Amino acid sequence: MACDAQETVVCVPIWLWIALVLELRKRGQGRRESGAFLLGRSRAGKAKVTSYLCYDDIDPNAYSGGAITFHANGYAALWHYCREEKVEVLADVHTHPGTDVRQSIIDQRHPMVPVAGHTAIILPNFAKTSWWSLMSIGVYEYLGDFRWRAHPQISGRRRVRLTLW
Please indicate, yes or no, if residue 16 is contained in any of the structural domains: yes
Residue 1 lies in a domain: no
Q: Is residue 6 part of a domain?
A: no
Specify if 5 maps to a domain.
no
How many structural domains compose the chain?
A: 1
Q: Which residues pair with 96 in a beta bridge?
A: none
Q: What is the CATH number of the domain that holds 58?
A: 3.40.140.10
Find the domain containing 119 and state its range. Answer: 11-155
pLDDT tens figures, 129-156: 988 889 999 999 999 999 999 998 776 6
- 3-state percent breakdown (helix, strand, coil) of the chain, nearest 5: 25, 30, 45
In a domain, 130, yes or no: yes
Percent of the chain with pLDDT over 70: 95
Whether the predicted pLDDT of 47 surpasses 80: yes
Classify residue 130 by its DSSP letter. -
